[in-house]
Structure formats: C-alpha cells, structure tokens
C-alpha cells in the first residue's frame, strides 16, 4: 500500500534532516506502529507517508514514496491523495471545523460522490462505531479530549479510505478514552483497513500491531515483529516506559518522615462549580512538606480544577484552601506563585521569549529577582538543558520543552511544585527522565504533586496516590511497594 524508499527530508530553513534514508513498507491490512523520542521525525513520517510532504511543504526531499504503486508526485493534488488516504493529526481541536459533531462527519461524507441514502446509512454506522451517537448535536469545542479525538477519527473514517494514518491519537487521553480508541482501531483492522499509527502507548496496542518501528533522529533504529524488536533492552526502554525504582532513587532520610511535619497544603470542604456543573464536591485533604503525591482519575474528574485552587487561578465556590498556613482567599496569585509552581499540560501555552534563558528569567523578574544568572544555570542544569540556553524555546523537541517548562517553575523556587500530565507526548526514556528530575526535586525538599493518567507513574514514583472521580476523592493511600 505505502512504500517509502530511502526517504530523506530537510525542512526549509533548517540544516538537520528530519528524516534520513528512511525505508518503510506498510502492507495492506496490516498495522504498523511507529514510536520514538520526541523530535525523532514521527509526524514528518506521517506527512511523508500521506504524500503531504511532497505536495505542501518545501524543503529538500530525496527518495521515493509510493501509494498503491504510484509515486506520490504523480497525484495532482492533495484532494486526489485524499481519495486514497485518511489522516488524523495529533491536535484534535485543530481538526474540528464545524459546529456540531454530526455536521463534522456529514460534511466529510458529502464529498465522496455517494448517494444521499448511502450517506445517511454510513453516517449512522460511523456514529455507532465511534460511540458518538449521543453527542451528535454537541459543539466540538465542548467535548473532552477523548471525544474530540473520536470525532476527528470519525470524520476521517467518513471518507471510506482503506488506509488510515494516525498521529498520536491517544496522547492526551486517559485510560478509558484510550481503550475506546484501541477498540475502534481494532474493529477497523478487522474490517481490513491498513493502519499506520504513531503512538507512545505501545502497551495498549500490542495485540493489534504487526510491525513495530522505532525512530531516532530521523532514522529507523529498529523495525520488525514487536517481540523481536523488544528483545533489545535499549529499544525496549524507548518503547515501554519503565518507572521502576524511581521512588527509591537517592532518597534522603530528611524527607521520609513526612507525617510529623505540618501540612503545606490544606483543603477543607472545597467545592467548585462551573455554572451548574459541580466540578469539585466537598474535598478535604492535607499534603505535607516533602511529599510526592500523584493525583489520578479519568478526564473530567476534577483533578486540574483542584490544583488550580492551590495558586488561586480558581477561587472556591465553597470551603477553603490553605497554603503554608495562609488562606488563599487572603493571598494574590502573584504571592502564591512564590510558593506554588504550576506546570501546565501543554508547555507551548507559556513560551514567548526569544531564548531559553529569557524564558526562565521572565518568572524571576516577576518575583523581583533581577540578577538571576546563577539561578537560571542551576535550573537548566537540574533538567539537563544547559546546552539549549541560547536557543529559541519553540525549536526544542516536545520532551525538551516539557523540561524547560519545569525549569521555568523550579527557578522561581516554589516549595510546592504541581505538574499536570508531565509525560504527555514523551517516549519511555523521556518520561522516566522527567520523573527522575521530579524525584530529585523532592529530595531537595520540594513537595511534588503530579496529575497523571498513568498508573505506572503513580505506583512507581509517588509516595501517595489520591484517586478522584466525579469531583470527589474516592481513595487516598500510600503507593504500593514501599
């Protein structure tokens, strides 16, 4: 179906090739899963395999890409390629064009030259396959991440193509939403569709993958039957994150006895409502200095809403939040920023400076620290980004940007560091590196609070796991294996 022969590609205005002598064959009815570190060229590979690179992008291209035996350059337009290939990009939100779920799918169906009756039948069938029937009149902007991904997938399925290319379809999804996507893709494979998947969650897809491809710096470093490929320990660490041993690494006695210390975060009967929707329902908890807490739960369970109260981005509808002995109602967000650092899920929401150094300096200036060179160097050293000090933040890979976001916060030296899904979009090695950095910060005396969908992280890195469901805490217990 798709053949890439010694494909090399360099983006315009860059020197380093994004793909280097890459050869890959995706056979009909097979599922190929591509993984690798961020910045390895996975998205570029998707664009190359869909023929988009040869049509829409400039830059230097070498090698040959064929779809159904025909060179992609031979296809006149992207619209012609769209008759053969369906592609779902990683940013689901950017693929929502219309204003209701049904309209989104119907609009894609209308351009396939089908009879009106067939369109209605196919619409109903796609809605059922992707579990979207109940959401048909909802605005895509009001859907959860998982629901948006399903809509983007459904609109692509509407095209009825046999080849589907999916770029990280589950990156921001929780366990439940990921399982739904896996379920859908499984049934598509059973229908004989050819799938090229870029994913970091190999474990979820392992039953359907025929070929596993690992990319690094634009080249294939491993390819073949998953079991064979994973025999190599180095490769395995990239594909499957292994957080074992993070908790016990460099543990200093000073932070082991947390219970005796006074709490740094106290939440008392906290409720929060968005309009009529109760997002937090009578939450009470204490977090002590030096603790490493994981907050787990499905999307929409109230995790992010809870932590936004710690630095007063949200104010309680009812109840109180006390940070280091002071009620947040009596503090400003700027004051709280000295004590609570919050790293959001998407690091791109904060970067605006011209260099990595300036980006970190921004936070320091906000706190009135003018001569921060030593602090900036120390923060960059902590996250292993010293070599990027004078680079433009947005040129860094996703993994590096995530670490830079952490550096921006730790430079401000807050005693409490809160991170929302810090391993999104990272490969096994990068995810472990981030967790080790956090562990190091805990050992230096910081209190670490991590929101995560990933149970492995909670079990192997945190001291304590708080599980939330529908705005309530349903369990709060020490992590296993202590």
Closest residue by Cα to residue 310 from 408, 438, 421, 447: 447
- Between 97 and 203, CB nearer to another protein: 97
Strands 263-274 and 277-288: antiparallel
For 310, the token pair is 């710690």
Q: Where do the H-state alpha helices sit in 318-386?
A: 333-337, 356-366, 373-383
For 201, the token pair is 């969650």
Whole-number minimum distance, CB 295 to another protein, in Å?
17
- Between 135 and 220, CB nearer to another protein: 135
Closest residue by Cα to residue 296 from 166, 177, 451, 175: 451
- Between 212 and 409, CB nearer to another protein: 409
- HSE at residue 448, side-chain half, CA atoms within 13 A, is 29
Whole-number minimum distance, CB 93 to another protein, in Å?
7
- Between 247 and 401, CB nearer to another protein: 401
Distance CA 444, CA 390 (A): 27
- Between 414 and 428, CB nearer to another protein: 414
Whole-number minimum distance, CB 98 to another protein, in Å?
5
Whole-number minimum distance, CB 55 to another protein, in Å?
9
Whole-number minimum distance, CB 132 to another protein, in Å?
15
Whole-number minimum distance, CB 129 to another protein, in Å?
18
- Between 94 and 203, CB nearer to another protein: 94
DSSP code string of 115-153? -HHHHHHHHHHHHHHTT-GGGTTS-GGGS-HHHHHHHHH
How wide is the angle at C-alpha 136 spanned by C-alphas 133 and 138, nearest 5°? 135
Distance CA 214, CA 24 (A): 11
- Interface residues toward another protein, by CB under 8 A: 50, 52, 56, 77-79, 81-83, 85-87, 89, 91, 93-100, 103, 106-116, 119-120, 137-139, 141, 155-156, 158-159, 308, 311, 313, 332-334, 337-338, 341-342, 344, 346, 348-352, 362-363, 366-367, 394, 408-409, 412
Q: For residue 218, give the 3-state DSSP assignment.
A: coil
Whole-number minimum distance, CB 23 to another protein, in Å?
24
**Residues ≥6 apart with Cβ < 8 Å to 309:** 267, 270, 272, 280, 315, 316, 321, 328
CA distances from 79 to 110, 205, 248 (A): 14, 30, 54
> Measured between alpha carbons, how far apart are the two ends of the chain, in Å?
50
Whole-number minimum distance, CB 115 to another protein, in Å?
7
Q: For residue 482, give the 3-state DSSP assignment.
A: coil
- Between 241 and 363, CB nearer to another protein: 363
Closest residue by Cα to residue 238 from 218, 222, 255: 222
Distance CA 280, CA 273 (A): 7
Q: Within 10 Å of residue 98's Cβ, how many Cβ atoms?
A: 16
Whole-number minimum distance, CB 151 to another protein, in Å?
12
- Between 102 and 463, CB nearer to another protein: 102
- Between 108 and 184, CB nearer to another protein: 108
- Between 281 and 335, CB nearer to another protein: 335
Whole-number minimum distance, CB 459 to another protein, in Å?
28
**Residues ≥6 apart with Cβ < 8 Å to 382:** 407, 410, 437, 440, 441
- Between 131 and 351, CB nearer to another protein: 351
Whole-number minimum distance, CB 256 to another protein, in Å?
29
């Amino acid at each position: 179906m798709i053949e890439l022969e010694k494909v090399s590609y360099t983006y315009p205005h860059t020197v380093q090739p994004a793909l280097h002598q890459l050869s890959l064959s995706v056979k009909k009815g097979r599922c190929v899963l591509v993984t690798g570190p961020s910045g390895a060229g996975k998205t570029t590979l998707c664009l190359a395999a869909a023929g988009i690179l040869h049509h829409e992008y400039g830059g230097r291209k070498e090698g040959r890409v064929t779809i159904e035996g025909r060179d992609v350059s031979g296809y006149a337009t992207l619209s012609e390629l769209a008759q053969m290939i369906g592609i779902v990009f990683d940013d689901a939100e950017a693929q929502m064009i219309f204003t209701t779920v049904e309209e989104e799918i119907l609009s894609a169906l209308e351009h396939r030259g089908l009879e009106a009756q067939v369109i209605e039948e196919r619409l109903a069938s796609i809605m059922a396959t992707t579990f979207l029937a109940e959401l048909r009149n909802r605005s895509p902007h009001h859907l959860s991440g998982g629901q948006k991904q399903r809509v983007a997938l459904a609109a692509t399925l509407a095209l009825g193509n046999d080849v589907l290319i999916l770029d990280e379809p589950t990156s921001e999804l929780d366990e439940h939403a990921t399982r739904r996507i896996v379920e859908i893709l499984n049934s598509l494979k059973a229908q004989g569709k050819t799938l090229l998947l870029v994913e970091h969650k190999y474990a979820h897809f392992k039953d359907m993958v025929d070929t596993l491809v690992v990319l690094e710096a634009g080249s294939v470093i491993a390819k073949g039957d998953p079991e064979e490929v994973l025999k190599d320990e180095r490769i395995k660490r990239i594909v499957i994150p292994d957080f074992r041993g993070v908790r016990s690494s460099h543990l200093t006695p000073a932070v082991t006895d947390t219970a005796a210390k006074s709490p740094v975060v106290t939440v008392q009967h906290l409720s929060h409502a968005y309009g009529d929707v109760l997002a937090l329902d009578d939450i009470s908890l204490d977090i002590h200095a030096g603790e490493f807490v994981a907050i787990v739960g499905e999307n929409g369970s109230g995790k992010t809403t809870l932590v936004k109260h710690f630095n007063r981005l949200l104010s309680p509808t009812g109840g109180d939040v006390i940070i280091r002995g002071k009620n947040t109602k009596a503090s400003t967000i700027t004051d709280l920023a000295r004590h609570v650092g919050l790293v959001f899920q998407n690091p791109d929401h904060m970067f605006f400076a011209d260099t990595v150094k300036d980006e970190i300096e921004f936070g320091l200036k906000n706190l009135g620290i003018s001569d921060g060179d030593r602090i900036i160097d120390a923060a960059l050293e902590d996250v292993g980004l010293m070599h990027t000090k004078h680079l433009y933040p947005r040129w860094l890979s996703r993994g590096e940007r995530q670490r830079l976001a952490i550096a921006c916060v730790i430079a401000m030296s807050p005693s409490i560091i809160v991170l929302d899904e810090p391993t999104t979009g990272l490969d096994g090695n990068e995810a472990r590196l981030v967790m080790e950095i956090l562990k190091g910060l805990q050992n230096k005396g910081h209190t670490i609070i991590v929101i995560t969908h990933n149970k492995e992280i909670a079990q192997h890195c945190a001291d304590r796991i708080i599980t939330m469901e529908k705005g309530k805490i349903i369990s709060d217990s020490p992590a296993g294996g202590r």
